[in-house]
Amino acid sequence: MARKPQITQDALISLGAAKLAQLVSDESEHNAGFRRQVSAALAGQNGPQAIAKVVDRRLSALEKARGYIDWNKARAFCNDLASTVATITRQLGDAAPALAIDRLLRFIATHEAVFQRVDDSSGYVQDVYYGAIEDLGGLTPRLSPDELALLPDRIAAALGQSDHGYFVDAARAVVELLPPPVLRRWDSDLAKRHAELEVQDTDTTNRFTYSNASQYLLVRQMIADALGDLDGFIRLESQKHPNVQDTLGIARRLLQADRAREALDWVRRERAVKFVFMSRTDLADRQVARDALAPQRAGLEAAILDKLGETEAAQALRWSVFEDSLNIAMLRDYVARLPDFEDFNVLDRAFDYVLAFKHIYAALEFLLAWPRIDLAARLVVKNFGLWDGRHYDLLPEAAEALDSCGLDTGAVAAAILYRALIEDILSRGNSKAYPHAARYLKSLDALALRSDAEAAQVRNMDLHVTYRAQLEKNHSRKYGFWGLLPKT
């Protein structure tokens, strides 16, 4: 079969001007975005100002338009926006970067009106705007020193009241590319704007008024970062409400700067819990939601204590977190810092603690992840009768690991979990899960000889043949299930 020819620039040149012109003309007939790019390219023969006029006409139409874009036209509209950005960046940007940046900022500023006209639940239109912001950063190094000095004012004029945070995104794209004097002037201007907005916010009686004060603060922190001004960065962080302060981030920065004592103060600051989560084992063990950042905070605090030479306190913290949540990373860090040959006794103590842990699903996940499959098998057998087959996001995975470990204790533990899963599905008559139950029963049949060898050691556990007979008796009318199994 002949290979498809690759479309490269050299291959296209080889076609000749006439052939290419015909292809371009044909595509322009039914592709509005492409047609605009061609028009801009043709206008470019008269200089960058001619390209700018073509772009300006499109931007003016975009700014004035208010009609809603139907769902079946949304993709074409998105492609048209992308084509406009491509024209600005590639054609005008090559000829006159400063003019291109002005048009990019003007394009980005249309986002609020555009988002009101189109359903962008897919995120395609938003991606076009993010692409334009990325192009803004790509063009910035090509500006002259005088043009660089004017860039912050241009960004503020176009995006200073962006509700979607594009002012911050645009600043992030260029801040590392600006010289220190320009950054300092920008910071001074933002400080003034920030102060004025804070006064307005304090005086307003409308609680729904939107303010860009927080965005100005974020950009000022970017500037401090670019200038290497850690103290300035921290001062700005301190101006934020305590509920939104990034205490962990500041602590990390201070630790990297060898300012561990200050880092310890930040990591221990009282803070509101912003993100909570429940793992699958938390749900199974009926635990309450936990602070999602607690493990990171504890790990960082322990690292800071190590830096300060407070090794015992650091190790005590790691062990405490492990005991509270069976955090594997914390135990590994604890063991890694022990003197030679002490780790064996400590691990034995840790595993004994896990086996006696009151939350059996968390303990099972820990032992599978370490991994200590032999101990996971012991845990399952020890808690025979307590495993709930509803937790199908954990138990099948555990049963398969135990089944394949090659240990007889692993086989009987796998059988316990498979039986729990089967009983749950059949007792609830969950017909959609019958294929899974049938697969679990087939696995039970396959490991029967190995599991029966240990089943006698488990109180109240029937041998496989007895269990299967009882299953057929209790669920004989579940024809949809039995029909999935080979007839015996």
Contact 269, 296 (CB under 8 A): no
Distance CA(107)–CA(84), nearest Å, equals 9
* Residue tagged 């008269």 (tokens): 46
pLDDT in tens, 341-362: 889 999 999 999 999 999 999 9
pLDDT value at position 161? Answer: 82
Domain ranges of the chain: 20-202+211-241, 371-488
At residue 450, does pLDDT exceed 80?
Answer: yes
- pLDDT above 90 (res 181): yes
Q: How many CB atoms lie within 10 A of CB 307?
A: 16
Task: State the Cα–Cα distance between residues 227 and 34, nearest whole angstrom.
Answer: 42
pLDDT band at 231; cut points 50, 70, 90: very high
pLDDT exceeds 60 at position 311: yes
Burial of 457 (0-12, 13-18, 19+ CB in 10 A): exposed
* CA nearest to 223, candidates 265, 253, 183, 190: 183
The predicted model gives 425-443 an average pLDDT of 96
121-179 pLDDT, tens digit per residue, is: 999 999 999 999 999 999 999 999 999 999 999 999 999 888 788 999 999 999 999 99
Say how far apart CA 53 and CA 43 lie, in whole Å: 9
Q: What are phi and psi of 290, to 5 degrees?
A: -115, 160
Lowest mean pLDDT among 21-35, 119-133, 387-401, 453-467: 21-35
Residue 1 confidence (pLDDT): 43
Backbone angles phi, psi at 456, to 5 degrees: -65, -20
Q: What is the pLDDT of residue 39?
A: 59
**For the stretch 382-403, what's the b/e string if a residue is b when 16 or more beta carbons lie within 10 angstroms of its beta carbon?**
ebbeebebebbebbbebbebbb
User: For 320-330, how does the pLDDT look when each residue is reduced to its tens digit (9 = 90+)?
Assistant: 999 999 999 99
User: Tokens standing for 245?
Assistant: 């302060």
User: Has residue 25 got a pLDDT over 60?
Assistant: yes
Confidence (pLDDT) at 62: 93
Instruction: Name beta bridge partners: 290.
Output: 277
pLDDT grade, residue 378 (50/70/90)? Answer: very high
Q: What is the pLDDT of residue 457?
A: 84
The answer to whether residues 98 and 148 touch, using CB atoms and an 8 Å cutoff, is: no
Peptide linkage before 371 cis (omega within 30 of 0): yes
Dist. CA 437–CA 484, nearest whole Å: 9
Nearest to 380 by CA among 283, 458, 466: 458
pLDDT digits (tens, 9 = 90+) for 59-107: 999 999 999 999 999 998 999 999 999 999 988 998 899 999 999 999 9
pTM above 0.95, yes or no: no
Give the residue carrying structure tokens 């003019």: 99
Per-residue model confidence (pLDDT) at position 127: 96
Q: For the chain, what is the mean pLDDT? A: 90
pLDDT of residue 271: 77
Distances (CA, A) of 269 to 255, 260, 308, 313, 321: 15, 14, 18, 18, 18
Is residue 275's pLDDT more than 90? no
β-pairing verdict for 276-277 and 290-291: antiparallel
Q: What is the average per-residue pLDDT within 470-487?
A: 92
Tell me, what's the pLDDT at 38? 63
Average of per-residue pLDDT across 457-473: 93
The overall longest dimension of the chain from CA atoms, in Å, is: 93
| Arithmetic mean of pLDDT, 3-19 | 68
As a whole number, mean pLDDT of residues 299-328 equals: 97
Map 172-224 to HEC letters: HHHHHHCCHHHHHHHHHHHHHHHHHHHHHHHHCCCCCCCCCHHHHHHHHHHHH
